[in-house]
Amino acid sequence: MEPEEIQNSEKVINGIAVSPGIAIGAVLVIGRKFAKIIERSITPDEVEFQITKFQEALDTTRAQIRALQQNLNETLKEKHSSIFDAHLLITQDKMVIDEVEAATKKELKNIDYIFDRIMKKYIAAIASMPDDYIRERVGDFRDVSSRIIANMHGGHDKQFDSLPGQRIIVAHDLTPSDTASLDRENVLALATEVGSRTSHTAIMARSMEIPAVVGISADDLNIGSGDIIIVDGYKGLLITNPKPATLEIYARRETREEEIHDEILKESTLRPETVDRFRIQLAANMELPEDLAAAIKYGAAGIGLFRTEYLYINRTEPPSVEEQFLIYKDLVEKLNGYPLIIRTFDLGGDKLSSITEEATHIDPNPFLGCRAIRLHLDFPELLPQQIRAILMASAYGDVKVMFPMITCMDEMGQLNGLVESEKRELRSKGIAYNEEMEIGIMIETPSAALIADKLAKKVDFFSIGTNDLVQYTLAVDRGNEKVAYLYQPSHPAILSLIKSVTEAAYENGIWVSVCGEMAGDPRYIPLLVGMGIHELSMSASSIGPVRRLIRRLYMHDSEKLLEEALKASTADEVLDLTEGLLYEIAPDIMSMAYLGE
């Protein structure tokens, strides 16, 4: 807790911290302007004009997106312009374009109405995906769709390009192109109702080093342009109409947090080991190749989870073996001897239908349906190609492969067989690879956790994906706000499963990592240390605080804490134990409530 409490009379709005920092300033409330679409009939003679208007809007949109890319390349330290590669692909998607034009000819309806209807169909399909990262791409489709429609109606809104002085932007939503268009010299912070930690807007806000909070309640937003507010990007708070005492508190906090951040950056070369010398590897999770720079900056000892879904989405054909190989090879060479753990794609069949000849149905329950390695039987060419590319990259550095969504031993038999088959193919062609490349699996289902002792005999390492493990074990959709209170990583059942998986790894001589949100959350670090976890993989910005915390822990204290936690009856009891220890040994870390991921 802060020594000074925020005064009760002030309006404190809770949201999700997605980009750290504190900003105090005047608000600019932005209401996005959407073109009004009215369904109307057209004559056959109008069809050609409608299609021409659509094609011209596509051309204009492509030019706008390329201009945004150029702007990002020139102004950002880390190049995030590749975010808009997916936007360009949407404007060039032959399947969508042909469907829009065919429907316009057949139904004799205005083409903006037809396009809007078809895009909403694709958006609904993507929104049903179980993977957070894939679901967040809904914003890309909405962004491009609104831009194309606006261009069909005479032009895209440019209200973000120039601001009347320094402002805190408050909006229902900011699309990636909105964020890229911002007058960054004058943007103090961002706050939106919509968004998550993995959205492109959040990623770009972190790259721009702009404090950002998302997920704020519209019901609480009784503010207007010109009002003074505080955005707390560490704790995920908006404070409206702050009193002078609160402004003073936050001015001091801002100075203190900046000092802590600078200190932590200077510690990036220190060993992440406890006072009594138990050492833990700290690695980074990575969504896109461009994220590697941040991982290196914060002192990551490798990439513990490289999500490869981006290679497969928003395109009309699957990535070739060569394309994948060059990406993996480039990354591992830049890591200079540190490991790169590549997770094979974790997608649903409905999302892959656009890059395969065979269309697939939309899963009625994608969280429990045909996804990840379960797709191998439906699309037998995709996984072997990815495995081959990973094997080829293993000749250039410490590359490991990791398979998600494992539930049974039969799946492991299939996967190990695939790896051996691809090795034989490469040997027959004289292509180099690492014969001893390590194979790991994600433990993210209760069934995998319960048979970890058997699975450990078939792999070289475990990576415990706590996000899904918590979700599946507690039967809680972590994206459903009505049951979000039940999503409890500190639940005694979760701790018991993680402990049993770790024990199975030790008994079978393999190493074990944690790569979910728990790995970057200081409240859980003493528990994971007490279990003897070998590696923690998290967002790059979480590495510094976690490193500092580990260096203040004693292994024997962590083991005692774990013993007490396993006796607890509720998740809250566990948190009381861990937070009590952390406030004692690391109050500075606990003040930085921005917990990554």
Catalytic residues: 200, 515
Paired strand residues for 285: 305
Count CB-CB contacts under 10 A for residue 588.
Answer: 16
Concatenated DSSP letters of 376-396: GTTSTTHHHHHHHHHHHHGGG
Q: What are phi and psi of 93, to 5 degrees?
A: -70, 105
What distance in Å separates the CA atoms of residue 453 and residue 458, rounded to the nearest whole number?
A: 10
What distance in Å separates the CA atoms of residue 167 and residue 188, rounded to the nearest whole number?
A: 6
What distance in Å separates the CA atoms of residue 126 and residue 136, rounded to the nearest whole number?
A: 9
Residue 208's contacts (CB-CB under 8 Å, 6 or more residues apart) are 76, 179, 182, 184, 187
Residue 78's contacts (CB-CB under 8 Å, 6 or more residues apart) are 207, 290, 293, 294
Q: Which residues of 90-123 are buried (b: 16+ CB within 10 A; e: fewer)?
A: bbebeebbebbbebbbeeebbbbbbbbebbeebb
Q: What are phi and psi of 262, to 5 degrees?
A: -65, -40
Contact 375, 434 (CB under 8 A): no
| 3-state SS string for 200-259 | HHHHHHHHHCCCEEECCCHHHCCCCCCCEEEEECCCCEEEECCCHHHHHHHHHHHHHHHH
| 3-state SS string for 476-540 | CCCCCCCCHHHCCCCCHHHHHHHHHHHHHHHHCCCEEEECCHHHHCHHHHHHHHHHCCCEEEECH
Residue 266's contacts (CB-CB under 8 Å, 6 or more residues apart) are none
What distance in Å separates the CA atoms of residue 322 and residue 90, rounded to the nearest whole number?
A: 23
Contact 337, 398 (CB under 8 A): yes
Contact 9, 243 (CB under 8 A): yes
Contact 22, 211 (CB under 8 A): yes
List the structure tokens of 291: 């994220």
3-class DSSP assignment, residue 284: strand
How far, in whole angstroms, is CA 549 from its chain's centroid? 24
List the structure tokens of 113: 């109405």
Question: Measuring CA to CA, which residue among 202, 122, 193 is closest to residue 481?
Answer: 193
Residue 264's contacts (CB-CB under 8 Å, 6 or more residues apart) are 544, 545, 547, 548
**278 to each of 436, 508, 513, 528, 529, how far by Cα in Å?**
27, 20, 15, 12, 8
